[in-house]
A and B are shown apart, each in its own frame.
Chain A
Amino acid sequence: MSQDLLNKVSEKLNTQFGADVLLAELLYDFPMFTIHHHKIHDVLSFLKNDEELNFHFLTDLTAMQTEDEKHLGVIYHLHNMMKNYRVRVKTFVDMSHPDVPTATDLWPGANWMERESYDFFGVKFKGHPNLKRILNVEEMDIFPLRKEYPLEDQSRDDKSDKMFGR
């Protein structure tokens, strides 16, 4: 079922967007697509409005930082409730220009989720109506979930990365 969905969606995306679909894979039985950040809004809009796929529901939107600490990723979980299709769409941007077009025009519910991602990682959602911090204080000048801000005191060596198998 998930394999079929992966094939179906990647076929449609490939004909429509070609090389901008960087990766299509099945991870733990969940179809996942990595899209070039220039085309992410078009892809989301296509997935939402395509008659057959109709991913009308934005389940989740969140951000992450890549392991090289040079890129930020934005992850969308989309859902078609009628056919019970779920896909994950990812896009990566450079940390020096973390600009991603907003999805609030497609789903108003993306508003706070994008604010949260901005608050934690500093992803700048272009066109967002009210992009400011939501959970942290407005005066905060860092993006706390980035890996450059470790949780523990730097002088402690009992909780260094090697203690966690990395």
Chain B
Amino acid sequence: MSKKETNTNSTVEEKEYSILNLGPTHPATHGIFQNVLKMDGETIIEATPTVGYIHRAFEKLAERRPYAQITPITDRLNYCSSPINNMGWHMTVEKLLKIELPKRAEYLRVIIMELSRIADHIICNTVIAVDTGAATGYFYMFQWREKVYDIFENICGARLTTNICRIGGFEKEWTKKVWDLIDEFLQGFPSALKEFTALVERNKIFMDRTVNVGPISAEMALSYSFTGPNLRAAGVDYDVRVANPYSSYQDFEFIIPVGQSGDTYDRFMVRQQEMWESLSIIKQAIKKLPEGPCRADVPDFFLPPKDQVYNNMEALIYHFKIVMGETDIPKGEVYHAVEGGNGELGFYLISDGGRTPYRLHFRRPCFIYYQAYPEMIKGIMLSDAIITMSSMNVIAGELDA
């Protein structure tokens, strides 16, 4: 008998833990990242996340691209709501160049940004429902995401990675087809969302799976630099659209939904409510839409009309200069933030007067709040950890940049 056993008066068996690799290509992680989990049966003792599987060095790439060519890079950050990234980038450049946009362009941008917020939240919320076993809502709601993409397609020609809008506004007015599609969406979507709400929000199984799962306190969320729906679910009413209004957000009436306990259910409910708010903002923007040009007068960033390019020497030269990015850029440093689908999406741009940024840093909300994940899932079940991850809406593109 050893000394230790005589002391404790009973045999303490050393616990054996198992190691489980969750990911990198596990269907339940909804993206490519790995968690090495130390498990006690089905309970998680410790998690070690590994990220960077789709790192594409955007910040380095941006240093060799003229400003207009950086927009397609931003598409690939949070690809569930690319238009918000695009607009955020355009606004950063506009801030650097001190370009004032006409009201109409700003309102049109708001319509697009709110549509993409809805598309983003549709994905996140229906996926939470799928992870609790309710796949019907997912297929049903994705039809509406397709309709949002139809609208984008009719504005800019692309659906997912949109490269929508330009520095200084829109290249052309929206067609009647676009407005018809928006009307159709505004008519049909509320009833679909209501049905989804009725299916899930007070559903016993859904609530049992989500209430008090993966909670985070407001203090901890703030110390981990949480923003967006995940911070608001913890009860902090911080929204960039209200704190630092951009693109005329101060003209619209909307509330910032907040949760209480910061658990999976609250995160879900905040996103649900935000979809209703986004719908209301779109309606207000359409109602108040001012007449006027849809872009600022910045010839350095708008290609001349094609008939002039083909028939006029100066127009051809300007076309060439714009495409090659031969534009004078002032020296300076700006930080601009927009409320992305996941939180404060910031662009920190340092210009040394060259045609490309000297340094461009993306403040990616996913990357910042995902580091709290190991702490949030400590001591909970594996199946709850999966649903916590879905409700945080970690998008691999934004996480890895």
- In the A-B complex, list the 7 residue pairs whose CB atoms are closest, starting with the nearest: A109-B225, A135-B52, A109-B224, A112-B371, A135-B55, A62-B361, A60-B363
User: Which residues of A sit under 8 angstroms from B352, Cβ to Cβ?
Assistant: 67, 166
Contact stretch, chosen from A6-14, A27-35, A37-45, A93-101: A27-35
Contact across chains for A28 and B371 when beta carbons are under 8 A apart: no
Which single member of B95, B223, B328, B350 contacts A108 (CB below 8 Å)? B223
Q: Which residue of A lies closest to B244 (CB)?
A: A84
15 additional A-B pairs beyond A28-B333, A109-B368, A164-B355, beta carbons within 8 Å, are A57-B222, A59-B344, A59-B363, A64-B361, A75-B361, A77-B335, A109-B223, A109-B225, A109-B369, A109-B371, A135-B52, A151-B60, A151-B61, A165-B326, A166-B353
User: Which residues of A sit under 8 angstroms from B224, Cβ to Cβ?
Assistant: 107-109
Q: Which A residues form the contact surface with B (CB < 8 A)?
A: 27-28, 30, 32, 56-60, 62, 64-65, 67, 75, 77, 81, 84, 86, 88, 107-113, 116, 120, 134-137, 144-145, 151-152, 159, 161, 164-166
Contact across chains for A64 and B350 when beta carbons are under 8 A apart: yes
Give the Cβ gap from A47 to chain B, nearest Cβ, in Å: 15
Q: Which residue of B lies closest to A159 (CB)?
A: B64
Residue-by-residue, is B42-58 near A (CB-CB < 8 Å gives 1, otherwise 0)? 00000000011001010
Q: Which residue of B lies closest to A149 (CB)?
A: B60
Give the Cβ gap from A142 to chain B, nearest Cβ, in Å: 12
Assembled-state Cα–Cα distance A66/B239 (Å): 33
Give the Cβ gap from A45 to chain B, nearest Cβ, in Å: 14
B243 touches A (CB below 8 Å): yes
Give the Cβ gap from A48 to chain B, nearest Cβ, in Å: 11
B169-226 contacts to A, CB under 8 A, are 222-226
User: Which residues of B sit under 8 angstroms from A60, Cβ to Cβ?
Assistant: 335, 346, 348, 361, 363
Contact across chains for A151 and B64 when beta carbons are under 8 A apart: yes
Assembled-state Cα–Cα distance A162/B358 (Å): 14
Contact across chains for B333 and A27 when beta carbons are under 8 A apart: yes
User: Which residues of B sit under 8 angstroms from A151, Cβ to Cβ?
Assistant: 60-61, 63-64
User: Which residues of A sit under 8 angstroms from B326, Cβ to Cβ?
Assistant: 165
Q: How many A-B residue pairs have CB under 8 A?
A: 110
Which single member of B95, B359, B372 contacts A28 (CB below 8 Å)? B95
User: Which residues of B sit under 8 angstroms from A159, Cβ to Cβ?
Assistant: 64
Contact A28 B332, CB 8 Å, known A67-B352, A109-B368, A109-B371: yes
Interface size in chain B (residues, C-beta < 8 A): 51
Which single member of B60, B223, B348 contacts A62 (CB below 8 Å)? B348
User: Which residues of B sit under 8 angstroms from A113, Cβ to Cβ?
Assistant: 225, 368
Assembled-state Cα–Cα distance A146/B363 (Å): 19
User: Which residues of B sit under 8 angstroms from A84, Cβ to Cβ?
Assistant: 243-244
User: Which residues of A sit under 8 angstroms from B122, Cβ to Cβ?
Assistant: none
User: Which residues of B sit under 8 angstroms from A64, Cβ to Cβ?
Assistant: 350, 359, 361
Which single member of B51, B55, B223, B244 contacts A107 (CB below 8 Å)? B223
Give the Cβ gap from B331 to chain A, nearest Cβ, in Å: 10
Assembled-state Cα–Cα distance A28/B335 (Å): 9
Which single member of B52, B95, B226, B369 contacts A134 (CB below 8 Å)? B52
Contact across chains for A135 and B401 when beta carbons are under 8 A apart: yes
Contact A56 B333, CB 8 Å, known A28-B96, A84-B243, A164-B355: no
